[in-house]
Chain A
Amino acid sequence: MGSEFVMFSLTPMLIGVFASVACALPGNFLILRRQALIGDAISHVVLPGIVVAFLLTGVVAALPMLLGAAGAAVLAVILIEAIKRLGRIEPGAAMGVTFTTLFAGGVLLLEQSDTSSVHLDVEHALMGNLESLVWLRATDWSSLMDPWALAGLPEELPRIAVVCFAVILLTLVFWRWLKISTFDEGFAQALGLPVGMIGMGLVITAAVAAVAAFDAVGSIIVIAMFICPPAAARLMTNGLERQVLWSVLFAVVSAVAGYVLAGYGPLWLGAEDAVSAAGMIATVSGAILALACLFGPHRSRVGAQAEA
């Protein structure tokens, strides 16, 4: 059991956890700023960027893909601003138009180009390939101390782990800036805080988390993790500090439970094959949000009665 778990389940599970936490943390602030769609937008626009990077380089390698995705994200931000200003359209609609158009463009590019030889297709873009990120050099838990085995870890794992810890660190260091400017931007500006840079930094952090997670787990998890754990966490508490801790807990639970359910759930139900882990993780996060909506202690809008 131990060796099989380490070889086939440990790394996908860890990657799922890191990806979920990296997205859920900035998601807390994006939701409170009414910018939750930005995460959605970013996770869609990385597709054309990655396809273009592949067409230019001819390989599916980490660096060109990340650069392509980053380029597409920047292009999307510019497009959103341009549509907002030139078209005088509200921000949500501008984002919706931009990310669906770019994603659709990415799908067309993908179909037209010859990617049959590599692992790059629409399904991969949506679902990632979590189940395939196994650790074949592992024999059992002792492999964690074995340099040769550790060198064989899927390259996605250290990448997403670094991004996840960077996001945690940034959240801790800039906590007060994030909190004050999210609650009361005018006051933050009057204090002299760099409000514009804080907002931009948050979006860039979310973009980096989305791109790193997209590579490993696909866009479905990214979209779900930006919104579901923080939204469910908001219903559990009335304090921002506790909300963020709850969101991390929910992200971890979604990743672990989703992975296990995808692998074994169908067997328990008598079905033959496992289902997509990414899809199941997103589904679990949605189920947690639904439960929080029904049973969360702070699910009523507390401000409602005070308005009278």
Chain B
Amino acid sequence: MTDTPVTLAATDGRAARLPQKSDAPLALRGLTVSYGEKPAIFSVDATFPAAQMTAIIGPNGAGKSTLLKAALGVIPRLSGEVTSFGEPIDTARARIAYVPQRASVDWDFPTTVIDVVMMGLYRQVGLLGRFTGRLKSRALACLDRVGMGGFADRQIGQLSGGQQQRVFLARALAQDADLYLLDEPFAGVDAATERAIIEVLKSLKAEGKAVVCVHHDLATVRDYFDHVFMINVRKIAEGPVDTTFTSEALNATYGGRLAATHIDQLRLAEGA
């Protein structure tokens, strides 16, 4: 038998010992995605818990964003199963908000801040429904919550990177979801925006919502997150930050690409 990702995924032992059907906000089983011949993520199992903030970390090209996109069906998966709150992902979409990478859209698009936020209300209005005053004030409230209340009628191209990221977060808030999936929400944003975003995410957690972030900055993992998922094409480790975010796991994830001094500066969990 040839070692294509499909056959490997089918025979790989990891896929076999599966957790029982999960009611978790997001659960992946044996998720495999490949771009061409090379698997981008391979036979990944994961469970993202409710009322927790989870960081997905790993080196560049490890498949962090791919994991989110494949879970949501934004890119096709080769094999594997995705459930959300115990249901197939397609029937749970109303409970999921997705914040793509800021750089994935053209900010020169002719639209305003409030228009973008109202895209998050699509499920309420449908294809032809009317935006009532109540829905519009809800969108404005979401902008207020990310500190962008005064920018509603601004053309989106006039915003700074941090402001753009906050508008994306406001759009996700408008969806009023139970699971928030964010792809690098802190990439290239100013310190004030980072504080504003983390405040909002922590308040979501306090409301019992699940928050999952693709995250780059290892120095803030301990401060921001409760749960960590470490990936380098395959899953390396997952669990509470307190016990899982260890130098061993980091070395395994980054394959020695992190300098020892760098690791020393991270306030890591003691090796179990």
Contact = CB atoms under 8 A, between A and B. Distances in A.
A190 B69 CA distance: 8
A201 interface: no
Nearest to B108: A303
Contact of A302 (B90, B104, B108, B128): B108
B127 A174 contact: yes
User: Which of B98, B106, B110, B160 has the most chain A CB atoms closer than 10 A to its own CB?
Assistant: B110
Contacts of A176: 122, 125, 127-128
B111 interface: yes
Interface in A173-200: 173-174, 176-177, 179-180, 182-184, 186-187, 189-193
B157 A243 contact: no
Given A190-B98, A306-B160, A306-B161, A183 B69 contact: no
Interface in A152-188: 173-174, 176-177, 179-180, 182-184, 186-187
A186 B69 contact: yes
A306 B157 contact: yes
Q: DSSP class of B's interface residues: helix, strand, loop or mixed?
A: mixed
B109 A32 contact: yes
* Most chain A CB within a 10 A radius of its CB, from B69, B157, B160, B171: B157
A137 B115 CA distance: 51
Given A183-B116, A192-B90, A239-B112, A302 B155 contact: yes
Contact of B119 (A183, A186, A303, A307): A183
A195 B157 CA distance: 24
The main secondary structure of chain A at its interface with chain B is helix
A301 B108 contact: yes
Interface string B161-203: 1000000000100000000010000000000000000000000
Nearest to A189: B74
A180 B117 CA distance: 11
Contacts of B125: 176
A287 B61 CA distance: 47
A266 B49 CA distance: 75
Interface residues of B, number: 34
Contact of A184 (B90, B105, B112, B161): B105
B74 A184 contact: no
Contact of A173 (B72, B104, B109, B128): B128
Interface in B109-164: 109-112, 115-116, 119, 122-123, 125, 127-128, 155, 157-161
A191 to B, nearest CB: 6
A191 B123 CA distance: 8
A184 B98 CA distance: 11
B127 A192 contact: no
Nearest to A237: B110
Interface residues of A, number: 29
B112 A238 contact: yes
A240 interface: yes
Nearest to B129: A176
Given A189-B72, A238-B155, A183 B161 contact: no
A234 interface: yes
Nearest to B123: A191
Contacts of A243: 110
A240 B119 CA distance: 14
Contacts of B122: 176, 180, 191, 193
B139 to A, nearest CB: 14
A192 B127 CA distance: 13
B111 A239 contact: yes
Given A190-B72, A303-B157, A306-B157, A183 B111 contact: yes
Contacts of A174: 127
A187 B100 CA distance: 7
B110 A306 contact: no
B93 interface: yes
Interface of B: 69, 72-74, 90, 93, 96, 98, 100, 104-112, 115-116, 119, 122-123, 125, 127-128, 155, 157-161, 171, 181
9 contacts: A176-B125, A176-B127, A183-B106, A184-B105, A189-B72, A191-B123, A193-B122, A238-B111, A238-B157
Sorted nearest first, the 10 A-B pairs with minimum C-beta distance are A190-B98, A302-B157, A303-B157, A186-B100, A238-B155, A192-B93, A190-B72, A189-B74, A184-B105, A186-B74
